[in-house]
Structure 1
Amino acid sequence: MKSILKFIKFFILLSGLFTMIPTVSLAEESYKREIDHLLHYVKDTQCLYERNGEQHSGDDAHKHITKKYKYYADDIHTAEDFIRLSATQSMVSGQKYYIICPDKKRTESGKWLLLELHRYRSVCP
């Protein structure tokens, strides 16, 4: 009788673990899709990306942020982590990154990307 109860407990535990795996995969898939969108958003922008006092095209900013994303990949579990670690400031100088768009005020890149993330989530839940 005890061995049957142990088997049932083991089976329930194992079943619970298997039901968690797809959930983790879906969550990971979701935030990676959001990050991919943000990377394309940076790449395709007509705005300039200011990093350490120098202005860069969206394409150049995309390349730089992608390198940082790969470097911090193990620490990134959400799109917000991606923004914070890869796209807001220089980890060497500590200077914030800025976005300069025509006819708009200079904006911190973190705020700019968070606004786009919220917009994206509202249309692609």
Structure 2
Amino acid sequence: MHIESPKKTVGKNKEEVYAFLTDLQNFEKLMPESIDKFEILDEDTFLFALNGMPQIVLKRKEQIPHERVVLGAASEKLPFTLSAHIEGIDVNSSEVTLSFEGEFNAMMAMMIKNPITNFMATLSENLTKI
């Protein structure tokens, strides 16, 4: 399953956006208002829970300076990645696209597609406000 958010313009250069996204504590600022729990587990891992949803643990999987940050599920039960692709526009702005990649059976994919799409839209929109 592949879901991609529309490109969003952020009023920060790509170095600043990259620095923001590599500090996992900042993901709390990007979460939807319905966040129930957010906790940093170690320098590469955090967990969060939205109201009525199970906890999700994300681990930093890859970083390419000023271009991409990839987080992945810490559990092998539901393997997926959430990537932020950063492109510089000029010295004061950049564009960010979020993409979700996961391998799910058809039933699971049908159940989670809308919530994940909405979640990514919220993360993307909140990123424009940093």
TM-score between both structures, scaled by the size of structure 2: 0.36
| Greater share of residues in strand | 2
Structure of greater relative contact order (alpha carbons < 8 Å, 6+ residues apart): 2
| Greater share of residues in helix | 1
TM-score between both structures, scaled by the size of structure 1: 0.37
Question: Which structure has the greater CA radius of gyration?
Answer: 1
